A = this chain, B = another copy of it.
């Protein structure tokens, strides 16, 4: 059975496991105060061209979103997101659990637009009862988005500019950031992101690590952030487990190099789809491929391939998601290709 269900189905890049073995019996201080975290922080600052950044490591994506948003917002503030944003729909209300409203705006192929953001803020300010409303304090975006699409540099700069104009912090969820950074045609770099955002994270879980997300605060972390992380139940005792992984991923460009495999394999799949004439449900440049299948095609494909059912398109068609990753083998892709061509 082939599987293209998700990008968190394998353990970790072998280099990480090797280092876990090498360092196994070293005694290391807990809670991220070790030399591996320090080394990883330094390498991430360099990769971001942001020497003053504060870098912290958390375990998973929802945890990171909820902790960062709660740490950055004031108590009476909410966070603005596209209606398709991960925090808006698929995190079990983890943000609301900490008391903050997720204010949703329309999505444009998964993206939040600066124009919508400005229009919302203008309308908010024009409201006579604005002080009876949740005060917008932050804009949340994902890059790549939940639809696998990417912001251009100009789009991110427009969002950053809108955020500054209205006193909002800009937070970029980079659970799949590596795949976005190496996609064909993107003009957005890690230093661009560090320049535009108030906080963002570099995803490890979906890009080669066992677990872990590296949170970057280009202008410094909120006061007492470690205590806030502990308060959220998000402080890992063996913090070096995260530091050591990111140190490995950010040594000699491993993070971007392995990310590229996901794009190469995804591109090959897109080639098969074109060749077979199967229509893309949405055209994306990253490792998530959305294709519209006839339900009978889908049924046949599912006999040999695990994939994601995205949503019904009409009575007889379904949008389907195929995901590649750092670990996807080109041989698996070729097998999938033959199945697609034979549909």
Contact = CB atoms under 8 A, between A and B. Distances in A.
A20 B232 CA distance: 28
Contacts of A227: 76, 92, 131-133, 135
Query: Which of A3, A134, A309 is the most central at the interface, judged by chain B CB atoms within 10 Å of its CB?
Result: A134
Contact of A133 (B63, B90, B99, B210): B90
A120 to B, nearest CB: 12
Contact of A25 (B25, B60, B327): B327
A190 interface: no
A17 interface: yes
Given A27-B3, A30-B6, A135-B227, A233 B94 contact: yes
Contacts of A132: 90-92, 227, 230, 235
A274 interface: no
Given A9-B30, A78-B93, A101-B93, A233 B234 contact: yes
Interface string A270-289: 00000000000000000000
A259 interface: no
A24 to B, nearest CB: 4
A237 interface: yes
Interface stretch (A66-74, A107-115, A153-161): A66-74
A61 B235 CA distance: 9
Contact of A131 (B30, B224, B241): B224
Given A97-B231, A224-B135, A11 B241 contact: yes
Nearest to A6: B30
A223 B135 CA distance: 12
Contacts of A211: 236-238, 241
Interface in A10-32: 10-12, 14, 17, 20-21, 23-30
B74 A230 contact: no
For chain A, what secondary structure do more than half of its interface residues adopt (helix, strand, loop), or is it mixed?
Answer: loop
Interface in A285-341: 306, 308-309, 327
B100 A231 contact: no
B20 A74 contact: no
A16 to B, nearest CB: 9
A102 B104 CA distance: 11
B232 A97 contact: yes
Interface of A: 3, 5-6, 8-12, 14, 17, 20-21, 23-30, 59-67, 70-71, 74-76, 78, 89-94, 96-102, 104, 128-129, 131-135, 205-206, 210-211, 223-224, 226-228, 230-238, 241, 306, 308-309, 327
16 contacts: A10-B26, A11-B23, A11-B24, A17-B24, A27-B306, A62-B233, A63-B234, A74-B223, A75-B75, A75-B231, A76-B228, A91-B230, A93-B99, A94-B231, A99-B99, A132-B227
Given A10-B26, A12-B20, A133-B227, 9 more contacts: A17-B24, A25-B327, A27-B306, A67-B233, A76-B228, A96-B99, A131-B226, A205-B238, A211-B238
